[in-house]
Structure 1
């Protein structure tokens, strides 16, 4: 084993041990102290990680440079790390919380009605609010949910996250072996959960996110259009009182579109909804993620406004 691989393995081993110790501490605490601990940890990561910090600044400037001052952007960036810590606390305690008491929703009937069609259900969401709590909530309401997820770099951490999901009734299938698995879930009348804001260079289609082109994976949406599967945009964002609000919206392409244009419409519609939620709770999205990359304008197939979503100014921090 060369020195570089040895250092990488040592780093992964240390991180794994730290995460297990931290996870054990968080799971031993009740909700409020667990969140306080992880909020403080998020603040510490913000201070100790100049690379992530500056990427967060740059992404916030791309999205809100015309709406927020530099001081507001830096204040928001710190809150992003703190809120991500809070979300991690809740995710680590998924099997110890009661989703139906932590999450409220006035639109869950959309999910129930879509599943009643017996054509499966595609649940599209993003890294906004707490997507793990969203999955736990759906499973607790009787939704047969399978999450499409990439493998984590460390197999031990991957198994840990998978077990946490399975403990609350959420199955997992992988991106690299997903084609048959996705089709099987939908044909069986189950719900497939997908994240629409994962960076995928040169894959899928191009949509606009905060006015800039980004790639979006279209495989699940192609299957949904082929099978006549309903598509619901969903999110669960944290309220000021510490609970979560879950929102569900059925997305229906306008009549007259062929299959390819339906896929493009759905991708852009989901991205528009995601942006709208982020503007309401800007500290609850993963701004340290390299979402934007150079994309030729000629590659954009989806219309700039796939659906009527009112563009609101970002909530002041």
Structure 2
């Protein structure tokens, strides 16, 4: 799909889906998901390769296929909800959300201590950001630049309209990292997706019994600023959105900086592993994350947006 076509599809979806009844839109996006599942797209095959690690060696091919179908439906549900979110009443966002552990996070922020909320690609991250902003906790996040520029600008404006401060992911990341550190030292909330490394400088962790590459940034920011590193998992239950803020991962007492960052990142991986195992269909990992699937020196992201399944528009990498 060309840049102009992708931009046009996004623009139409944002305009139209807010006016379409929710159940009607969900049925349409379920059909798109099923088409991609039957078509065996590249993203679907990567999803199944990742889910095979979650399901374990005892899972049959039929079980894996059923899980990947549910996964594609969950993934397209995110896009349907994302296109509708700006038109979703605040009482729906607040009233259909079940959250645990958020009181500890909010206590840190209100006491002036910054928090790094580290999330896997689960559930609906944009909804979670809108939800906590509506509770009076603004947040800062990072977005990778997308092609075309108009899509990146639209995503940025969309997220800023939900109450998020969006910083661009620059080439070396140094400028953005400095700004994030300043937000944390000021007692702000920083939310970062943390289960896929977008660089060649990630940390190798164990995930479902295999080496995988995670970004070092969340742990490094928490360690460098004194902020609390708190994993957050997201999933769906029927029509409801579920959020769990897990206990803080404290910095190790001993070791050099690199070793402490590795240990904290492994702590994230352990929490994510448990959350993904409980809700594998809501882990939207259509990219390579396990080291065995990566070539030497290969980052887990493509140069531009990863292709979404079937006829849906391109899916942003910063998802």
Interval containing the TM-score (normalised by the shorter chain): 0.7 to 0.9
The answer (yes or no) to whether the contact 1:251–1:266 under 8 Å persists in 2 is no
2:82 and 2:144 map into 1 onto residues whose CA distance is: 17
Of residues 261-270 and 271-280 in structure 1, the stretch that sits farther from structure 2 once superposed is 261-270
Note the C-alpha offset of 1:105: 1.4
1:27 aligned counterpart, secondary structure: coil
TM-superposition CA deviations, 1:45-96 (whole Å, max 9, x none): 3334532232223222233241321101011111211111111111112222
* Consecutive unaligned residues in structure 1, runs of 5 or more: 1-9, 297-317
In the superposition, relative to structure 1, how do residues 263 and 196 fare at CA in structure 2: closer, same or farther (>3 Å)? same
The answer (yes or no) to whether the contact 1:200–1:215 under 8 Å persists in 2 is no
Corresponding position: 1:131 with 2:129 = no
1:144 and 1:124 map into 2 onto residues whose CA distance is: 16
Give the superposed CA RMSD.
2.1
2:271 and 2:5 map into 1 onto residues whose CA distance is: 39
Partner of 1:142: 136
Partner of 1:251: 248
Q: How many aligned residue pairs are there? A: 286
Partner of 1:158: 152
Partner of 1:69: 60
Greater Rg over alpha carbons, structure: 1
1:279 and 1:155 map into 2 onto residues whose CA distance is: 36
Note the C-alpha offset of 1:254: 6.7
2:84 to 67, 88, 93: 93
In the superposition, relative to structure 1, how do residues 49 and 112 fare at CA in structure 2: closer, same or farther (>3 Å)? same
Corresponding position: 1:12 with 2:16 = no
Partner of 1:53: 44
Equivalence map 1:1-317=2 (5 Å): 11-97=2-88, 98=90, 99-176=93-170, 177-240=175-238, 242-253=239-250, 256-258=253-255, 259-294=257-292
1:170 and 1:81 map into 2 onto residues whose CA distance is: 27
2:134 and 2:42 map into 1 onto residues whose CA distance is: 38
- Between 1 and 2, higher relative CO (CA 8 Å, sep ≥ 6) is seen in 2
Instruction: Give the TM-score taking structure 2 as reference length.
Output: 0.82
Instruction: Give the TM-score taking structure 1 as reference length.
Output: 0.83
* Consecutive unaligned residues in structure 2, runs of 5 or more: 295-319
Of residues 99-108 and 60-69 in structure 1, the stretch that sits farther from structure 2 once superposed is 60-69
